[in-house]
Amino acid sequence: MQRLTQAPNLAIATLWADALVEEGIAASVQRQYLGGVAGELPPDQCLPEVWIHHDQQQTRARALLHDLQHVPQRRWLCTCGEMVEGGFEQCWSCAALMPR
């Protein structure tokens, strides 16, 4: 097993690990219960971590993690006429998907 990254909180760590697993990369969240001891231990040592189980998947896992952390922010005009901003991939007005 190899540590891939620290996450700012448990929710983000879980989302990242789940996305990796969805792509076929065996991953898990470690240190998920250390948040309660922050103060007794240095806070940066209590952050949850995402670990991958197979070292040979590290390059692919890092590339996927980079993509998850750097989602393009763009504006697009939906077919219904609504201007959709930010990282949204679906129109909040008519639920149409962002054109590719």
Residue 38 has pLDDT above 80, yes or no: no
Domain ranges across the chain: 2-69, 72-100
pLDDT score, position 39:
76
**Do residues 98 and 77 make contact, with C-beta atoms less than 8 angstroms apart?**
no
- Nearest C-alpha neighbor of 48 from the set 29, 62, 61, 65: 29
Task: With residue 59 as reference, give the H or E element that holds it.
Answer: helix 58-69
- Spatial separation of the C-alpha atoms in residues 20 and 94, rounded to whole Å: 30
pLDDT band at 21 (very low <50, low <70, confident <90, very high): very high
pLDDT band at 54 (very low <50, low <70, confident <90, very high): very high
Burial of 15 (0-12, 13-18, 19+ CB in 10 A): middle
